[in-house]
Structure 1
Amino acid sequence: MQGLLAAFVLSGLIGWQRELNNHSAGLRTHILVGVSAALFIVLSETLVASFAKQDDQVRFDIIGVLGAVVSGVSFLGAGAIFSSGKDQGAKGLTTAAGLLATAAVGVASGLHLYVLASGATALFLFTLGPLSTLSERLSSRR
Protein backbone atom coordinates (compact mmCIF):
# COMPACT_ATOMS: atom_id res chain seq x y z
CA MET A 1 0.00 0.00 0.00
CA GLN A 2 2.96 2.35 0.62
CA GLY A 3 3.84 2.24 -3.08
CA LEU A 4 0.33 3.31 -4.04
CA LEU A 5 0.34 6.12 -1.48
CA ALA A 6 3.73 7.34 -2.69
CA ALA A 7 2.44 7.27 -6.28
CA PHE A 8 -0.65 9.20 -5.17
CA VAL A 9 1.35 11.96 -3.48
CA LEU A 10 4.10 12.29 -6.10
CA SER A 11 1.73 12.08 -9.07
CA GLY A 12 -0.50 14.57 -7.30
CA LEU A 13 2.35 17.06 -7.10
CA ILE A 14 2.91 16.82 -10.85
CA GLY A 15 -0.82 17.04 -11.53
CA TRP A 16 -1.21 19.99 -9.18
CA GLN A 17 1.47 21.90 -11.10
CA ARG A 18 -0.38 21.19 -14.35
CA GLU A 19 -3.73 22.12 -12.80
CA LEU A 20 -2.40 25.46 -11.51
CA ASN A 21 -1.29 26.29 -15.05
CA ASN A 22 -4.67 25.33 -16.57
CA HIS A 23 -3.48 22.39 -18.65
CA SER A 24 -5.94 19.81 -19.93
CA ALA A 25 -4.52 16.92 -17.89
CA GLY A 26 -4.47 18.08 -14.30
CA LEU A 27 -4.50 16.76 -10.77
CA ARG A 28 -6.96 13.88 -11.11
CA THR A 29 -5.58 12.64 -14.43
CA HIS A 30 -2.00 12.55 -13.18
CA ILE A 31 -2.99 10.82 -9.94
CA LEU A 32 -4.95 8.20 -11.86
CA VAL A 33 -2.03 7.55 -14.22
CA GLY A 34 0.57 7.36 -11.44
CA VAL A 35 -1.44 5.19 -9.07
CA SER A 36 -2.56 2.91 -11.92
CA ALA A 37 1.03 2.35 -13.01
CA ALA A 38 2.02 1.52 -9.42
CA LEU A 39 -0.97 -0.79 -9.08
CA PHE A 40 -0.04 -2.73 -12.23
CA ILE A 41 3.42 -3.33 -10.76
CA VAL A 42 2.07 -4.38 -7.35
CA LEU A 43 -0.60 -6.63 -8.89
CA SER A 44 1.97 -8.31 -11.13
CA GLU A 45 4.28 -9.02 -8.21
CA THR A 46 1.36 -10.29 -6.11
CA LEU A 47 0.03 -12.58 -8.85
CA VAL A 48 3.44 -14.06 -9.52
CA ALA A 49 4.03 -14.64 -5.80
CA SER A 50 0.63 -16.31 -5.52
CA PHE A 51 1.10 -18.62 -8.51
CA ALA A 52 4.76 -19.31 -7.69
CA LYS A 53 3.57 -21.15 -4.58
CA GLN A 54 1.68 -23.57 -6.82
CA ASP A 55 4.21 -23.87 -9.65
CA ASP A 56 7.91 -23.07 -9.52
CA GLN A 57 7.94 -22.31 -13.27
CA VAL A 58 6.11 -18.98 -12.85
CA ARG A 59 8.35 -15.98 -13.50
CA PHE A 60 7.83 -12.26 -13.15
CA ASP A 61 8.45 -10.42 -16.42
CA ILE A 62 8.86 -6.81 -15.31
CA ILE A 63 9.73 -5.74 -18.85
CA GLY A 64 6.38 -7.00 -20.11
CA VAL A 65 4.51 -5.13 -17.39
CA LEU A 66 6.50 -1.96 -18.06
CA GLY A 67 5.80 -2.29 -21.78
CA ALA A 68 2.07 -2.58 -21.13
CA VAL A 69 2.09 0.48 -18.86
CA VAL A 70 4.06 2.54 -21.38
CA SER A 71 1.75 1.46 -24.23
CA GLY A 72 -1.37 2.34 -22.28
CA VAL A 73 -0.10 5.73 -21.17
CA SER A 74 1.21 6.48 -24.66
CA PHE A 75 -2.28 5.85 -25.99
CA LEU A 76 -3.62 8.40 -23.49
CA GLY A 77 -0.84 10.81 -24.43
CA ALA A 78 -1.67 10.49 -28.11
CA GLY A 79 -5.17 11.69 -27.29
CA ALA A 80 -3.70 14.80 -25.67
CA ILE A 81 -1.71 15.74 -28.77
CA PHE A 82 -3.37 17.56 -31.62
CA SER A 83 -2.19 19.60 -34.55
CA SER A 84 -3.20 23.24 -34.62
CA GLY A 85 -2.21 24.02 -38.14
CA LYS A 86 0.51 23.76 -40.70
CA ASP A 87 2.71 26.50 -39.26
CA GLN A 88 1.88 26.19 -35.56
CA GLY A 89 2.94 22.59 -34.95
CA ALA A 90 1.53 20.13 -32.45
CA LYS A 91 -0.06 21.06 -29.13
CA GLY A 92 -0.15 18.82 -26.09
CA LEU A 93 3.32 17.31 -26.38
CA THR A 94 4.30 18.41 -22.88
CA THR A 95 1.02 17.07 -21.50
CA ALA A 96 1.67 13.70 -23.14
CA ALA A 97 5.26 13.65 -21.87
CA GLY A 98 4.03 14.62 -18.40
CA LEU A 99 1.61 11.69 -18.35
CA LEU A 100 4.40 9.32 -19.36
CA ALA A 101 6.69 10.82 -16.71
CA THR A 102 3.94 10.40 -14.11
CA ALA A 103 3.56 6.74 -15.08
CA ALA A 104 7.31 6.29 -14.58
CA VAL A 105 7.00 7.80 -11.10
CA GLY A 106 4.15 5.39 -10.43
CA VAL A 107 6.21 2.41 -11.57
CA ALA A 108 9.14 3.46 -9.37
CA SER A 109 6.75 3.89 -6.44
CA GLY A 110 5.20 0.49 -7.08
CA LEU A 111 8.68 -1.02 -6.97
CA HIS A 112 9.32 0.80 -3.65
CA LEU A 113 12.07 2.93 -5.20
CA TYR A 114 10.94 5.99 -3.27
CA VAL A 115 14.16 8.00 -3.52
CA LEU A 116 14.20 7.51 -7.30
CA ALA A 117 10.51 8.38 -7.60
CA SER A 118 10.93 11.49 -5.43
CA GLY A 119 14.03 12.65 -7.28
CA ALA A 120 12.36 12.14 -10.65
CA THR A 121 9.31 14.07 -9.45
CA ALA A 122 11.53 16.96 -8.36
CA LEU A 123 13.22 16.99 -11.77
CA PHE A 124 9.87 16.87 -13.57
CA LEU A 125 8.50 19.72 -11.45
CA PHE A 126 11.61 21.78 -12.17
CA THR A 127 11.21 21.05 -15.89
CA LEU A 128 7.52 22.00 -15.90
CA GLY A 129 8.02 25.08 -13.71
CA PRO A 130 11.23 27.15 -13.64
CA LEU A 131 12.74 25.58 -16.75
CA SER A 132 9.53 26.18 -18.69
CA THR A 133 9.54 29.84 -17.65
CA LEU A 134 13.18 30.21 -18.68
CA SER A 135 12.47 28.55 -22.03
CA GLU A 136 9.57 30.93 -22.70
CA ARG A 137 11.71 33.96 -21.88
CA LEU A 138 14.49 32.80 -24.19
CA SER A 139 12.00 32.12 -26.98
CA SER A 140 10.46 35.58 -26.66
CA ARG A 141 13.87 37.21 -27.16
CA ARG A 142 14.26 35.67 -30.61
Structure 2
Amino acid sequence: MTLSDLPGFTLPLLAAVIAGGLIGFEREWRGRAAGFRTHILVCLASALLMELAVSQAAWRFLPIEGAQIVADPARMAHGVLTGIGFLCAGVIFRAGFSIHGLTTAASLWTTAAIGLLFGAGLYGLGAVGTTLTVVILIILRVVSLRLPQKSVVDAQIVWRRDATGAEDRIEAALAGIHRSSRADHFELLDGGQTLRRSFRFKIEGEPALKALAVRLRGIDGVIGYSLDPRDD
Protein backbone atom coordinates (compact mmCIF):
# COMPACT_ATOMS: atom_id res chain seq x y z
CA MET A 1 0.00 0.00 0.00
CA THR A 2 1.28 3.47 -0.93
CA LEU A 3 0.09 7.03 -0.42
CA SER A 4 -1.59 6.91 -3.83
CA ASP A 5 -3.97 4.25 -2.44
CA LEU A 6 -5.27 6.48 0.33
CA PRO A 7 -8.12 8.12 -1.66
CA GLY A 8 -9.67 4.70 -2.21
CA PHE A 9 -9.60 3.99 1.52
CA THR A 10 -10.90 7.42 2.54
CA LEU A 11 -14.42 7.19 1.09
CA PRO A 12 -15.47 4.16 3.21
CA LEU A 13 -14.13 5.86 6.33
CA LEU A 14 -15.99 9.10 5.62
CA ALA A 15 -19.18 7.15 4.94
CA ALA A 16 -18.72 5.29 8.24
CA VAL A 17 -18.23 8.56 10.15
CA ILE A 18 -21.40 10.04 8.63
CA ALA A 19 -23.44 6.89 9.34
CA GLY A 20 -22.19 6.65 12.92
CA GLY A 21 -22.90 10.34 13.44
CA LEU A 22 -26.49 10.05 12.20
CA ILE A 23 -27.24 7.14 14.51
CA GLY A 24 -25.31 8.59 17.44
CA PHE A 25 -27.06 11.95 17.17
CA GLU A 26 -30.38 10.36 18.11
CA ARG A 27 -28.85 8.64 21.12
CA GLU A 28 -27.07 11.87 22.15
CA TRP A 29 -30.32 13.81 21.85
CA ARG A 30 -32.00 11.22 24.04
CA GLY A 31 -29.24 11.63 26.66
CA ARG A 32 -28.00 8.05 26.47
CA ALA A 33 -24.65 6.84 27.81
CA ALA A 34 -23.31 6.00 24.33
CA GLY A 35 -23.96 9.00 22.13
CA PHE A 36 -22.57 10.93 19.19
CA ARG A 37 -18.83 10.30 19.53
CA THR A 38 -19.17 6.70 20.68
CA HIS A 39 -21.23 5.67 17.67
CA ILE A 40 -18.88 7.47 15.28
CA LEU A 41 -15.85 5.73 16.78
CA VAL A 42 -17.52 2.32 16.69
CA CYS A 43 -18.51 2.72 13.03
CA LEU A 44 -15.08 4.11 12.09
CA ALA A 45 -13.20 1.34 13.89
CA SER A 46 -15.32 -1.31 12.22
CA ALA A 47 -14.68 0.20 8.79
CA LEU A 48 -10.94 0.43 9.48
CA LEU A 49 -10.70 -3.19 10.53
CA MET A 50 -12.74 -4.40 7.57
CA GLU A 51 -10.58 -2.38 5.17
CA LEU A 52 -7.60 -4.00 6.82
CA ALA A 53 -9.08 -7.44 6.20
CA VAL A 54 -10.00 -6.88 2.54
CA SER A 55 -6.57 -5.45 1.70
CA GLN A 56 -4.46 -8.27 3.11
CA ALA A 57 -2.62 -8.56 -0.21
CA ALA A 58 -0.97 -5.23 0.59
CA TRP A 59 0.39 -6.37 3.94
CA ARG A 60 4.15 -6.47 4.29
CA PHE A 61 4.97 -10.07 5.05
CA LEU A 62 6.81 -12.86 3.29
CA PRO A 63 4.84 -16.11 3.02
CA ILE A 64 6.58 -19.44 3.00
CA GLU A 65 7.87 -20.26 -0.44
CA GLY A 66 5.35 -22.32 -2.35
CA ALA A 67 2.56 -21.68 0.18
CA GLN A 68 -0.87 -20.55 -0.94
CA ILE A 69 -2.54 -18.02 1.34
CA VAL A 70 -6.35 -17.85 1.38
CA ALA A 71 -7.79 -14.84 3.22
CA ASP A 72 -11.31 -14.74 4.63
CA PRO A 73 -12.43 -11.15 5.47
CA ALA A 74 -15.62 -12.53 7.05
CA ARG A 75 -13.51 -13.68 10.01
CA MET A 76 -12.68 -10.07 10.77
CA ALA A 77 -16.39 -9.21 10.70
CA HIS A 78 -17.12 -12.01 13.15
CA GLY A 79 -14.37 -10.76 15.45
CA VAL A 80 -15.58 -7.18 15.37
CA LEU A 81 -19.19 -8.05 16.10
CA THR A 82 -18.13 -10.36 18.91
CA GLY A 83 -15.84 -7.75 20.44
CA ILE A 84 -18.44 -4.99 20.22
CA GLY A 85 -20.62 -7.10 22.50
CA PHE A 86 -18.40 -6.15 25.44
CA LEU A 87 -18.96 -2.46 24.70
CA CYS A 88 -22.69 -3.04 24.35
CA ALA A 89 -22.75 -4.78 27.73
CA GLY A 90 -21.31 -1.63 29.29
CA VAL A 91 -24.37 0.47 28.41
CA ILE A 92 -26.88 -2.05 29.80
CA PHE A 93 -27.66 -1.64 33.48
CA ARG A 94 -30.24 -2.84 35.91
CA ALA A 95 -32.14 -0.62 38.33
CA GLY A 96 -34.44 -2.64 40.57
CA PHE A 97 -36.47 -4.84 38.28
CA SER A 98 -35.81 -2.59 35.25
CA ILE A 99 -33.18 -3.23 32.61
CA HIS A 100 -32.12 -0.10 30.72
CA GLY A 101 -29.88 0.50 27.73
CA LEU A 102 -30.99 -2.35 25.49
CA THR A 103 -31.86 -0.05 22.59
CA THR A 104 -28.53 1.78 22.86
CA ALA A 105 -26.67 -1.53 22.93
CA ALA A 106 -28.56 -2.66 19.84
CA SER A 107 -27.78 0.62 18.05
CA LEU A 108 -24.05 0.18 18.82
CA TRP A 109 -24.09 -3.36 17.48
CA THR A 110 -25.94 -2.23 14.34
CA THR A 111 -23.51 0.68 13.91
CA ALA A 112 -20.59 -1.76 13.99
CA ALA A 113 -22.26 -3.86 11.29
CA ILE A 114 -22.81 -0.77 9.12
CA GLY A 115 -19.15 0.19 9.54
CA LEU A 116 -18.16 -3.26 8.32
CA LEU A 117 -20.33 -2.82 5.23
CA PHE A 118 -18.70 0.47 4.34
CA GLY A 119 -15.27 -0.99 5.01
CA ALA A 120 -16.04 -3.81 2.57
CA GLY A 121 -17.13 -1.27 -0.05
CA LEU A 122 -20.83 -2.12 0.12
CA TYR A 123 -21.96 1.51 0.12
CA GLY A 124 -25.53 0.88 -1.02
CA LEU A 125 -26.22 -1.72 1.65
CA GLY A 126 -24.53 0.44 4.28
CA ALA A 127 -26.65 3.45 3.30
CA VAL A 128 -29.84 1.39 3.45
CA GLY A 129 -28.84 0.03 6.86
CA THR A 130 -28.13 3.54 8.15
CA THR A 131 -31.46 4.85 6.88
CA LEU A 132 -33.44 2.00 8.39
CA THR A 133 -31.66 2.36 11.73
CA VAL A 134 -32.42 6.09 11.92
CA VAL A 135 -36.03 5.42 10.95
CA ILE A 136 -36.37 2.80 13.68
CA LEU A 137 -34.81 5.02 16.35
CA ILE A 138 -36.57 8.30 15.50
CA ILE A 139 -39.65 7.90 13.33
CA LEU A 140 -40.95 4.69 14.87
CA ARG A 141 -40.50 6.17 18.34
CA VAL A 142 -42.65 9.17 17.33
CA VAL A 143 -45.29 6.78 16.02
CA SER A 144 -45.10 4.73 19.21
CA LEU A 145 -45.58 7.80 21.40
CA ARG A 146 -48.73 8.74 19.49
CA LEU A 147 -50.30 5.35 19.91
CA PRO A 148 -52.40 4.63 23.02
CA GLN A 149 -50.19 2.55 25.24
CA LYS A 150 -49.39 1.71 28.84
CA SER A 151 -45.99 2.27 30.41
CA VAL A 152 -44.41 -0.49 32.49
CA VAL A 153 -43.40 0.97 35.85
CA ASP A 154 -41.15 -0.56 38.50
CA ALA A 155 -42.15 0.81 41.88
CA GLN A 156 -40.74 0.58 45.39
CA ILE A 157 -42.73 1.80 48.38
CA VAL A 158 -41.34 2.10 51.91
CA TRP A 159 -43.50 2.52 55.02
CA ARG A 160 -43.14 2.29 58.78
CA ARG A 161 -43.90 -1.11 60.24
CA ASP A 162 -45.87 0.42 63.11
CA ALA A 163 -48.16 2.38 60.76
CA THR A 164 -51.45 0.58 61.22
CA GLY A 165 -53.28 -0.12 57.98
CA ALA A 166 -50.56 1.44 55.77
CA GLU A 167 -50.21 -1.62 53.58
CA ASP A 168 -53.97 -1.85 53.06
CA ARG A 169 -54.09 1.81 52.01
CA ILE A 170 -51.20 1.21 49.60
CA GLU A 171 -53.10 -1.69 48.07
CA ALA A 172 -56.14 0.58 47.76
CA ALA A 173 -54.03 3.24 46.01
CA LEU A 174 -52.96 0.63 43.47
CA ALA A 175 -56.47 -0.69 42.94
CA GLY A 176 -57.49 -0.83 39.31
CA ILE A 177 -53.89 -0.86 38.06
CA HIS A 178 -52.78 -3.93 36.11
CA ARG A 179 -50.00 -5.49 38.19
CA SER A 180 -47.59 -8.37 37.70
CA SER A 181 -47.72 -10.45 40.87
CA ARG A 182 -44.48 -12.25 39.95
CA ALA A 183 -42.55 -8.98 40.38
CA ASP A 184 -43.69 -8.41 44.00
CA HIS A 185 -40.79 -8.38 46.43
CA PHE A 186 -40.91 -7.84 50.20
CA GLU A 187 -38.08 -6.56 52.44
CA LEU A 188 -37.72 -5.80 56.14
CA LEU A 189 -35.33 -2.87 56.72
CA ASP A 190 -33.77 -0.77 59.48
CA GLY A 191 -33.75 -3.55 62.03
CA GLY A 192 -37.40 -4.33 61.43
CA GLN A 193 -38.60 -0.72 61.67
CA THR A 194 -39.59 -0.26 58.03
CA LEU A 195 -41.00 -2.38 55.22
CA ARG A 196 -40.24 -2.07 51.51
CA ARG A 197 -42.30 -3.66 48.79
CA SER A 198 -41.51 -3.71 45.08
CA PHE A 199 -44.19 -3.77 42.40
CA ARG A 200 -44.35 -3.89 38.61
CA PHE A 201 -47.45 -2.57 36.91
CA LYS A 202 -48.75 -0.94 33.74
CA ILE A 203 -50.19 2.55 33.81
CA GLU A 204 -51.60 4.86 31.15
CA GLY A 205 -49.39 7.92 30.72
CA GLU A 206 -47.73 10.48 32.96
CA PRO A 207 -50.93 12.03 34.41
CA ALA A 208 -51.96 8.66 35.86
CA LEU A 209 -48.45 8.18 37.26
CA LYS A 210 -48.54 11.62 38.92
CA ALA A 211 -51.97 10.88 40.38
CA LEU A 212 -50.61 7.66 41.88
CA ALA A 213 -47.68 9.56 43.39
CA VAL A 214 -50.12 12.00 45.01
CA ARG A 215 -52.15 9.14 46.48
CA LEU A 216 -49.02 7.52 47.91
CA ARG A 217 -47.86 10.79 49.48
CA GLY A 218 -51.18 11.08 51.27
CA ILE A 219 -50.85 7.71 53.02
CA ASP A 220 -49.86 8.03 56.66
CA GLY A 221 -46.77 5.94 57.36
CA VAL A 222 -45.30 5.98 53.84
CA ILE A 223 -41.79 7.42 54.17
CA GLY A 224 -40.54 6.93 50.62
CA TYR A 225 -41.34 5.58 47.17
CA SER A 226 -39.80 5.24 43.74
CA LEU A 227 -41.81 5.08 40.50
CA ASP A 228 -39.50 4.15 37.63
CA PRO A 229 -41.03 3.92 34.12
CA ARG A 230 -39.06 1.58 31.89
CA ASP A 231 -37.55 3.33 28.90
CA ASP A 232 -34.58 2.38 26.67
User: Do the two structures share a fold, i.e. TM-score over 0.5?
Assistant: yes
**Corresponding position: 1:49 with 2:57:** yes
Amino acid aligned to 2:57: A
1:38-93 per-position Cα deviation (integer Å, ceiling 9, x unaligned)? 000111222x213599546222222211111011111100111111112x3x1000
Question: How far apart, CA to CA, are the structure 1 residues paired with 2:31 and 2:135?
Answer: 17
2:106 to 76, 97, 102: 97
Structure 2 unaligned regions, length at least 5 = 1-9, 152-203, 205-232
Question: How far apart, CA to CA, are the structure 2 residues paired with 1:51 and 1:2?
Answer: 20
**Corresponding position: 1:16 with 2:25:** yes
Asked if 2 retains the 8 angstrom alpha-carbon contact of 1:52 and 1:58, the reply is: no
Q: TM-score, normalised by structure 2?
A: 0.56
Amino acid aligned to 1:29: T
Task: Indicate the structure with greater strand content.
Answer: 2
Question: How far apart, CA to CA, are the structure 2 residues paired with 1:93 and 1:137?
Answer: 22
Amino acid aligned to 1:69: V
C-alpha RMSD of matched pairs (Å): 2.0
**Which has the higher Rg, Structure 1 or Structure 2?**
2
1:80 to 84, 91, 99: 91
Aligned-partner SS, 2:96: coil
1:69 to 64, 75, 80: 80
Q: Which has the higher contact order (CA 8 A, sep 6+)?
A: 1
Asked if 1 retains the 8 angstrom alpha-carbon contact of 2:54 and 2:120, the reply is: no
Q: TM-score, normalised by structure 1?
A: 0.88
Question: How far apart, CA to CA, are the structure 2 residues paired with 1:115 and 1:63?
Answer: 19
1:88-135 per-position Cα deviation (integer Å, ceiling 9, x unaligned)? 3x1000010000010011001101111111111110001000112223
2:38 to 20, 29, 35: 29
Amino acid aligned to 2:70: R
Q: Could you tell me how far 1:28 is from its partner in structure 2?
A: 0.4
Amino acid aligned to 1:108: L
Aligned-partner SS, 1:95: helix
Q: How does 1:110-121 map to 2 (within 5 A)?
A: 110-121=119-130
Task: Indicate the structure with greater helix content.
Answer: 1
Aligned-partner SS, 2:68: coil
Question: How far apart, CA to CA, are the structure 1 residues paired with 2:32 and 2:129?
Answer: 20
**Corresponding position: 1:106 with 2:106:** no
Amino acid aligned to 2:19: L
Aligned-partner SS, 1:129: helix
Give the paired residue count.
139
Asked if 1 retains the 8 angstrom alpha-carbon contact of 2:32 and 2:104, the reply is: yes
Structure 1 unaligned regions, length at least 5 = none
Aligned-partner SS, 1:83: strand
Amino acid aligned to 1:10: A
